Structure formats: structure tokens, C-alpha cells
Structure 1
Amino acid sequence: QWITQGAGNDSPASTRLRYSPENPPVYVAAPIITSVDFSSDGKYLAISGFHEVLLYRADGSELVARLIGLSERIESARFSPDGSMLAVAGGSPGRMGELQVWKVADAELLLALTAGYDTIYGANWSPDSTLVSYGCPDATIHAVKIEDATEVLFNGAHSDWVLDTVFSKAGDHLVTVSRDRSMKLINVKTSQFIDNITSITPGALKGGLHAVDRHPDKDELLAGGVDGVPRVYKMVRDKARKIGDDYNLIRAFPKLKGRIFSTRFSHDGSKIVAGSSFNGTGQIKIANYADGKEIASVDIASGIFTVAFHPDGKTIAAGGFDGYIYLIDAATGTIAKQFIPVEIQAEVAKTK
């Protein structure tokens, strides 16, 4: 009643919408790029910004839309398999996490769901585009039904931040990776923890895992993290576990400098790409999936935090600390184009 009688809104400024399409973010420096993703039809490239996701033409020629929301930090942005929606995981550090779902065709916000007390990570879609999964710094795993925002999966099997998630090919299992050095398998219907896909031997993994992606045609998982080595694991164990084994490991790929922050398969499953950061520099490596042979290695003068294949497999998009988007020839590793995806307001910067 006191609200209807005209009481003022005394909620903290941090809970209010700071930016909107009518009042978009203004940049005095290029934002750190934490996520890139191509739409399944190859038309669009989604790029993380500050309080927004920037929707570009896939070749970087035109900014199509600015998807502006409450979350100041965007940790991941993924197109749905059918290309009609974009899931965004992020939040405001130390205050809240948020899952956004956008309709791509008209830049309409379909869902904005607050989650936890810190930014959330690793948003990904079920194969039928009905569920979105994500991980939290409180070591929990979640999946929600987009139609009505109901939570269909909750699990707390990890012991540290959950940084990435991916569904199985059938959508009946969820695979997650964490700073606790493990890759875990979860049953979607029951939320039950099934298995540690990676070795459980102390010291077998040299650090946390930051990224995971699934082969487009089979349940084989590409993961990378602190030790800089991309590895592929089969999802389901078919042999009794013995302490000391790493039975699910299929193959390892050439090591990158520093920590891997992103790993992706090409859409036909024939290639993999990984991006890393080390002492202020970055590296991208492209390899054949079948034999693990390196195709190209690209050194960047700034840390790389995200990579993605165009659906045609010919181009890789990458981004990181310097705020540039790099469009790279997947066959040669040549940088075909690089650009900053936002307009820098030089006059504003001079006054700061």
C-alpha cells in the first residue's frame, strides 16, 4: 500500500537497470572479450561487452543489435542449436548472477533469471533448445526450462567454482568442469551425479578445468584448463575404475602456453581449437581431431579467453584481454581481420 501511496524507491542503485537501449553503455576503452559464438546458420557473431552482448554480422562488417541487460559482466553467450535464441550467463561480481535468454530475430529479452550471489558461468543449451545449463561459484550446477523458468536440475557434486557445462548428444546427461580439477557427469532427469570422467588420482591433473565442448556427432568431450593441454575424453566409462587410471582419455593435443580458457569443436567435428593466456600474451592452436596433429598455432600479443568456429569450419573467431576480435583462417592460422567491436568515445576518455 505504501508503494501505491507514492513511497520513493530506496532500493540500492546496484539493483536498478543502469543501461538500456535508450541509454546504452559508453566505452572509453575496449572491453575484455570473454565470449564469442557464431549462430548455427552462420549469419551472426555474438560478442560479450559491458552490460551487453553485441550481435554482429559473422564477418564483422556490421553491428546488428546491442542486447543490453542488468549484468555488468558477461561470462558466456551461446546461441541455441536452432539459432533462434541466445543464452547469456553473467552477473555483478559479489552481488548476483543472472541468466538471460534473448530472441535473436527482434532482440527481445525472453528471460532474466537472477541466480546466486556472484556471476555465473558456462551457459549452454540442450540439443532440443528447451533447457539451459550453467555453473556457479558456490560449486553448484543448474539447468532451467526456458518455457517457464523452472529449475529442472540442481547438483552440488563439485567442490569449487563450476566454469563450463555441456549437454550430451541425447540431452539426457550434463557434463561440467570446475576449478576442483574434475569433469563430472550428471543425469539430467534425476540430477544424480554419475561419474568423474577425468582421473581421480591425486596429481593426475595439474590444475582446474576451465572449458568443455562436446563433439557434434558423439559423446566425446574436449576439455582444457590450467595445464594448457587440450584433452578429449569419452563420456561414459565402460570399464571398472582403478585408482591411477585415466581410462576415459582418448587423446591429448599439442600443449598451449599458459592456461586454456576456451576449447571448441568445428561443426563437422573434424577440427578443434583452443585459446590460452600466459603472462599477458595469448595463443590459439588448431588441430585435426582424428589424429591430434597441429594445423596452425597463432600467437597473440594479449591473453585469449574465448574461441569459436564458424559453422562452415573455415573461420575461427577469438577474443581476449585487448578487446579485439580476431577472425582467423582455420586452415592456415592467418589473421584475416581484427577489430574492436565497440565505439571508443575519445572525448569522454580525455576527461577521465
Structure 2
Amino acid sequence: MKRTFEFLVAAIVAALAISSAQADPVSFKGDVAPLLINSCLACHGPKKAEGGYRIDTFEKVMAAGDSTSPGFHAKDLEGSEAFRRMIETNPKERMPLDGDPMTAEQIATVKKWIEEGANFDGPDPKAPLASYIPAPKHPAGPEKYSATMPITALAFTPDGSQLLAAGYHEVTVWNPADGQLIRRINNVGQRTYGLSVSPDGQLLAVACGAPGRLGECRIFKLDSGELVRVISTTSDVVYDCQFNPAGDRIATAAADGSVRVFEVATGKEQNTITSHSDWVFAVAWSPDGNKLASASRDKTAKVYDAKTGDLLITYSAHNKEVRGVMFHPDGAEVYSSGSDNKIQRWTVSEAKKSAEVGFGGEVYKLAAGGEFFLTSSAEAKVRQFNAKDQKQIREYPGAKDWVLSAAYHAGTQRIAGGTFDGQVIIWNAEDGKQVVAFTAAPGFTPPAPAEKPAEKK
């Protein structure tokens, strides 16, 4: 009897909480749009629209897909096809199709919104939902990792005493001298793809997101990990972010095919560049900050006027995905890397190739390091080049898997490489010797090797 009473009390409290939460009108921007992005966007976005139905803008949310019924119809639950699919009991018909069904509370929120008239409180019915929903509070990284994470981004702190690495819903911070964990920066998107430290060393920008759902660039105070602001919110991941040389602007590259430029002090968007037709993997500023370069899955690299966003030149000689880009120190040429297993050097004025270097696998982002630059590639090693003439200085072996990211610190003369299997390796740039190697996954314990069966006598 006691258990029954306690259950009833808990149920009443939960019902009161839901009732209280829904006393005010339901906000599409704050309540409904985040549910649609998290539960439905992966199958009903601009790149994949199951049943011809999309939910990436309010205009699309309210429209019909291949069926004649609109997704949502004001004050008409039965005539709202998307809502009908949310409450469908047949798992083959229910939306989301391959995910967990929406909770009773989530369904109640959508139901109340429809009954209230399916009102819109966003800025523009044609604007992407991800561009105006409130920034989410992300969960903390796992206390102990059950598996390793590909190290898709690395960056040294200005004094070289700490190394930042991509984690799961976090950026992990390590001692590059001994591989010990120092701290963890939380409230980060699911996966981190790019890291950039501001020229004054005060801010850390993190390009992150959940594939097919939400992408962001989050700016933190580097010393405390306090979140300053969220910019460049999109319906897919943000792959890269880079502060300009002056530190007052930041550029982002995203899977929605855009390059965006923001004012660092206010987060105000200054330019949106949509010249690419596919994912943009990387972005780079010229040494004088007057130009931007980008690398894309559409097999091109491009250069723009950084103030106006106007396209200046397109380079198409890779003929495969372009994954990395950086300017030559004189600003008149660009280096680009890609899935053609090459880095190519070409002129900004004519997009004319002036040099190239071949690799034994695809080449990922290029890491600038003053007079040097580094390459990470599927060769399972880091290579160091002279930035002026592209001559190779040294190779840094020792990785057992693809090297996905690299970073250089001039003061300590250290080079770091991050691998697909979750390893971080630190080398001395002066002699090429390995300093330390460690698994950048807090608390991870590798599985014990399987015992060999006893030999038969």
C-alpha cells in the first residue's frame, strides 16, 4: 500500500510539473523547434527528406510532403500528418523512424502548440530553425570513456604548457610533457572538429556539433572554460573556426556549405558566404587578414575578400574532396590538401598551380606554425614543411592509425598529432624524437588481450 501511495504522489507531482510548465503558451522557437531538430532533422532536412517532407524551416514544417496532408495544421490534430506519425504505435510508421519514440511530455508540448494555433514566434518563417533556437546546454563528457574517440582537433595553449584535444561533449586538456589529464572543458557539442585560440590567448573557439542535427561554434574563456557565447548555429556540424590575425573577427566553416564571419566582441554576424555547393571542411585567413580561403567537399578551394565576402578565385585542380587550406606567408599563394593524396600550392591571382607534394593517403587539415606548417594524413604520420618553399623538414612517425590532426608550439618546439584510434603523440621538433604518447580518453581502460587457448598435449 505504501508503494502505491508513493507512486500516486510522484505521478501527481509530475503531472503538476508538466501542467505548470505548459501554463504559458507554447513557443515554437523555444519549445517545438528544438524537439524537431533533435528528433526529426536527420531524416527530414535539406540533404535528406524522407517522404518529401522537411522540417529545417518553419515554412517547410507547415507544408506537406509527398502526402496531401500538411505536416502541422493549426488547431487540427487529425489533419497534422507529422503529429499523427509522432503518436503512431506501429514502429514502421512512427516518427522518428529509427530512433526512440518521443516522450509523453514532448508529445504533449507539440499537441498543445497545435491546439493553440501552431503559432510562429521566430524571426522569419524561411530561416533555418537552427539559426534562432536557444543554444542548448550540452551534457558533460563521460566520467570514464568506454571507448576511444578520434582526435579530430588539437591546439596548444599560448605558453605551451597545455594541449587541448577533441573529446565527446567536451574538450580535454593535457600536459604535453607527461600526458596527464589537467582539466576538462564541458558544455561542448557532441563532436569537436576544430579548435582555435585567439591571438591574445584569452579565448578558445570550438567548432562542434552532432551530424545531421546541430552545429555550432562555441567561444569559451580559455583559462576558466566559462562559455562566452554561441555563434554560427546550423543544422549540421561546424567543421572549422579560425580567429583572424587581429583577433577581432572569427570565421567558421560548416557542413551546410557556408563560410560565416562574426565580430568576436559581440557575436554579430558580418558575412555569410555560400559559394560552395557542399560541406566546407576548413577556413583560413591571409596574413594581413584581408582575405579568406576555404576547402570543400565539392572538390574546390576558394578565396574571398574578407570584408565583403565576394569570391575572388576558385581552385579546382584537386578533382577530389579538399580538406585543408592555408595561405603562403606572402599571402599571394595558397596551400590546399585533399583526398587526392596531395598538397597543392597555387596563386590567388590566377588559381595557377606552382607546386605539389604527394602522400601515401589522403591529407586532412593543414596546421600553420609560423615559418612551418604541418600535415596530418592517412599515412599515419605527421610531416613538417617550410611554409615558404614547401620543402619537407622532417617526418614524425609512431602513429598506428590515420593522423587526423596536428599542432605546433614554437616556444617549446613541440609537435602534436592526434589519431583516429584516440592516441595523441608529442614530438620534439628540434630532433624529431618522441616525448610521450597517450590515449586522450579520460578513464579509458583498454580491453585485456584475449588469452591464447592452451596447447593440446
Band the TM-score falls in, shorter-chain normalisation: 0.7 to 0.9
Give the superposition deviation at 1:108: 1.0
Aligned in 2, Cα 1:188/1:265: closer, same or farther, shift over 3 Å?
Answer: closer
Aligned to 2:422: 323
**Structure 2: runs of 5 or more not aligned:** 1-16, 24-30, 39-134, 449-457
1:252 is matched with 356
Residue 139 of structure 2 corresponds to which residue in structure 1?
A: 19
Distance 1:61 1:312 in 2: 18
- Are the structure 2 counterparts of residues 116 and 342 from structure 1 closer, same or farther at C-alpha, using a change threshold of 3 Å? same
Q: Secondary structure at the match of 1:342?
A: coil
The residue identity in structure 2 corresponding to 1:308 is A
> Cα–Cα, structure 1 residues 311 and 217, in superposed 2: closer, same or farther, change >3 Å?
farther
Q: Is the 8 A contact 1:29 1:344 kept in 2?
A: no
Aligned AA for 1:45? L
Is 1:221 the counterpart of 2:352? The answer is: no
- Paired residue secondary structure (1:175): strand
Give runs of aligned pairs for residues 47-66 of structure 1, distance below 5 A.
47-66=165-184
Q: CA deviation at 1:121?
A: 1.0
- Report the Cα offset of residue 104 of structure 1: 0.9
Q: Quickly say closer, same or farther: Cα 1:313–1:70, change in 2 above 3 A.
A: closer
Contact 1:296 1:332 in 2 (8 A): no
Within a 5 Å distance, the mapping from 1:144-293 to structure 2 comes to 144-196=262-314, 198=315, 200=316, 204-215=317-328, 218=331, 220-234=333-347, 236-237=348-349, 241=350, 246-247=351-352, 249-253=353-357, 255-267=358-370, 269=371, 271-277=372-378, 282-293=380-391
Asked if the contact 2:423/2:440 (under 8 Å) is kept, the reply is yes
CA contact (8 A) 1:133 1:165 kept: yes
By percentage of residues, which structure has more helix? 2
What do the CA deviations read for 1:35-88 (whole angstroms, capped 9, x no partner)? 001233323321110001112334355433311124101111111112111110
Identify if the C-alpha distance between structure 1 residues 87 and 4 changes in structure 2 by more than 3 Å, giving closer, same or farther.
farther
CA contact (8 A) 2:385 2:391 kept: yes
**C-alpha distance in 1, partners of 2:276/2:412?**
34
Structure 2 residue 305 is matched with structure 1 residue 305? no
Q: CA RMSD in A?
A: 2.9
Instruction: Give the letter for the 1:7 counterpart.
Output: Q
Range that drifts further, 27-36 or 185-194: 185-194
Residue 274 of structure 1 aligns to which amino acid in structure 2?
T
Partner Cα distance (1:3, 1:145) in 2: 40
Partners of 1:216 and 1:43 in 2: how far apart? 26
Partner of 2:201: 83
> What amino acid does structure 2 have at the position aligned with 1:305?
L
State the TM-score, normalizing by the size of structure 1: 0.83
Q: Distance in 2 between matches of 1:87 and 1:5?
A: 38
Residue 103 of structure 1: aligned partner = 221
Shift of 1:127: 1.2
Q: Is residue 2:239 matched to residue 1:121?
A: yes
Question: Per-residue deviation at 1:256?
Answer: 1.8
2:147: which partner in 1? 29
- 2:65 alignment partner in structure 1: none
Shift of 1:160: 1.4
Measure how far apart 1:111 and its partner are: 1.0
Cα distance in 2 between the residues matched to 1:40 and 1:59? 15
Counterparts of 2:298 and 2:157, CA distance in 1:
31
**For the Cα contact (< 8 Å) 1:295–1:332, is it kept in 2?**
no
**Structure 1 unmatched ranges of 5 or more:** none
Aligned length: 326
TM-score of the superposed pair, with normalisation by structure 2: 0.65
For residue 279 of structure 2, what is the amino acid of its counterpart? W
- Relative to structure 1, the CA distance from residue 347 to residue 158 in structure 2 (aligned partners, 3 Å threshold; closer, same or farther) is closer
Please identify, of 133-142 and 83-92, the stretch whose mean Cα deviation from structure 2 is larger: 133-142
- 1:25·1:50 contact (CA, 8 Å) conserved in 2? no
Aligned position for 1:7 = 22
Q: Which has the larger radius of gyration?
A: 2
8 Å contact from structure 2 (residues 341, 359) kept in 1 = yes
Match of 1:103, as an amino acid?
K
Distance change (3 Å), C-alpha of 1:172 and 1:294: closer
Q: Distance in 1 between matches of 2:214 and 2:207?
A: 11
Instruction: Tell me which protein shows more strand as a share of its residues.
Output: 1
